Amino acid sequence: MKKYIVITVISLLISLATPFIFKNYVEHKPERLEQAFRFGGPIPFAEQQKLLPASTNAYPLEVSFVSPFQTKTILHPVSLFFSFLVFFLLILSIFTVLNSYFGKKPMKRKQ
């Protein structure tokens, strides 16, 4: 049970950190400069409105996630849940494989 709690906490922390890791890329100047971008991974779950530069020389452009304390952020709970689930299952499977490989105790042979 303790193993699942630890994996849950690690998965949740990784999921909540992914918007700061993954960036959005804008290659050409869009018609509307006010755009909504979704951040996070593997399934984007945090949405923020961004005002893009008007100059065409500013493109290509990487758009970064800003802390939710500094700007309005819309969280999509279903996407957040599935992103968390992906990390949980990935970490659980890696832990299970490593535990089955390295966690085996040598068997004593009867003679």
Q: The dihedral of CA 97, 42, 18, 78: what is its sign?
A: negative
CA 24 to chain centre: 13
pLDDT tens-digit map of 36-85: 999 998 999 999 999 999 998 999 999 999 999 999 999 999 999 999 99
Pairing of strands 74-75, 61-63: unpaired
Give the residue ranges of DSSP H helices in the chain.
2-21, 77-102
Q: Check residue 82 and give its pLDDT.
A: 97
Domain ranges in the chain?
Answer: 23-87
pTM, two decimal places: 0.81
**Both structure tokens of 80:** 């957040």
Residue labelled with tokens 């020389």? 57
**Both structure tokens of 22:** 């993954």
